[in-house]
Amino acid sequence: MPAWSSSWQLPDQIADVLPSEARHIEELRRLFLDAARSYGYELVMPPLLEHLESLLTGTGEALGLQTFKLVDQLSGRTLGLRADTTPQVARIDAHLLNRSGVARLCYCGPVLHTRADRPHATREPLQFGAEIYGHAGLEADLETQRLALDCLKASGVTDLMVDMADVRIVSSLLAGASLGASTLERIHAALAVKDAGELDALLAGLHDSLSSEAREGMKALLQLYGDEQVLLEAEKVLPRMPGVHEALKNLKWLASHVLDVRVSFDLADLRGYAYYTGTRFAIYGHGAELARGGRYDEVGAVFGRNRPAAGFSLDLKELVSVLPPRPLKAAICAPWGDDAMLNAAIARLRAGGETVTCVLPGHENEVNEFDCDRELAFAAGHWVVQARL
């Protein structure tokens, strides 16, 4: 087999982004960053790679398994290619900015995963996100939800739905139980897939360290999903523990302030349980999960500043894959030439925001992505824009 025959092939679940899709992604990137700026979020650009101990400190095993690792040829130390940007932004907030009040930060850049998080997904997402640090109240949770929804609405997503949960419900029910890490992981997995048999077996093993009231509450979680009636039912069937009551109250408040979209709840959904410390949400549209976020107050603790934090992130590549293509902005076709008046006219049009494609000699009948609907023509001693015949 010739050496060149496979040289163009990319690794599994890594792909080139071709012009029309790249243009769509870039338009959304600009749109989202402008939306974040309108809320007062400042753009930061963390590096793609860091020393591994800095990149993964306090992030948990799951992120470590998702992180590509390599050796720095300059220092001999192990580096990591980021699999998530949030820990880096927490480091920036804690050490580089070190502000005493609220800090609003946003970012947009590639992350790399050793394995895709779902079939057919890319291992190189383009992650956009926004984080707010320094405010413990629900106002911060709500602001990040509203920003995420504004971004998705502006991108053209219709029929949005916000699904909410709170990790403190389960943590309150399990408080005081003697749980090993593996048992806790199995409980969370059983809740996620709503496996009643597995959950019963696991809870039976906690008979001595978990009250019957808490065990029944855990089992009830499997049925607590749906619209806002779920919260009313949860108040009836879950134990009146302080953490549980507070979590339900917070979810009810957030739901009452989310406007123009459907809201649902799944109180057994613990995705990211090792990461989130309070409310968490996912936003769905076009049959897919498009954004995910919540509160993660512990994210800065490993950097010496354990202060409140809430935010969200989404993958622009995933979003573009479920959206219809955006229409091309109308373009102008111009002849190529050395004429000073022609080049001055082209420069003025481009400075005014127009796309002007100069047709190179011999290529007049070719089609490119910017299918021009107008052309620059010489008439009455001037170069003027007219409808293309």
Residue by residue, what is the 3-state secondary structure of 170-221?
Answer: HHHHCCCCCCCHHHHHHHHHHHHHCCHHHHHHHHHCCCCCCCHHHHHHHHHH
pLDDT, one tens digit per residue, over 133-185 is 999 999 999 999 999 999 999 999 989 999 999 999 999 999 878 788 888 88
Mean pLDDT of 231-253: 93
Q: Which two tokens stand for residue 34?
A: 């402008």
Q: What is the pTM of this model?
A: 0.90
Question: What one-letter code names the amino acid at 104?
Answer: R
Say what percent of the chain tops pLDDT 90. Answer: 66
Closest CA to 117 of 332, 324, 271, 295: 271
Angle between helices 242-257 and 138-155 (to 10 degrees): 40
pLDDT at 6: 63
